[in-house]
Amino acid sequence: MRRVTLDANVYLSGFVFGGKPKRILEMAIDGEIEVAVSDPIIQEVRRHLLGKFGWSEPRAAEAIESIAEFATHVTPAEAIDTVPTDPDDNRVLECAVSAGSQTIVREMMTRSGSWRSEASRSSG
């Protein structure tokens, strides 16, 4: 089974907007993929659900609990600092390396303001 690490924006888009990011979360729930997550990614998701999207604490806690139900929690063993402009991206890389993920999936906003999903695969 393919092990993947999801950027916080994939969780956020899946929870808030649905679409392809929600399908990725459903694939994890259904056991089609194995998702790895770390505390910094969970903290980023929680921070944006509460702040940016205005979710209540109980609603955000329910979303975070759902991640724990389908994702494997990892504690990164090494610090990575290859993306100085976005430290949160470094936390995603740390999780992926520690978990041995074959794929990183992220959501990016395009210049037109729409969202697109992107997957990066390792050569290993």
| CATH label of the domain that carries residue 21 | 3.40.50.1010
pLDDT tens digits, residue range 97-123? 999 999 999 875 444 444 455 555 554
Q: Quote the pLDDT of residue 103.
A: 93
Whole-structure pTM value: 0.87
pLDDT tens digits, residue range 67-85? 999 999 999 999 999 999 9
- Could you tell me the residue range of the domain that residue 18 belongs to? 3-121
3-state SS track over the chain: CCEEEECHHHHHHHHHCCHHHHHHHHHHHCCCCEEEECHHHHHHHHHHHHCCCCCCHHHHHHHHHHHHHHEEECCCCCCCCCCCCCHHHHHHHHHHHHHCCCEEEEEEECCCCCEEEEEEECCC
pLDDT tens digits, residue range 1-45? 899 999 999 999 999 999 889 999 999 999 999 999 999 999 999
When divided into structural domains, the chain yields a total of 1
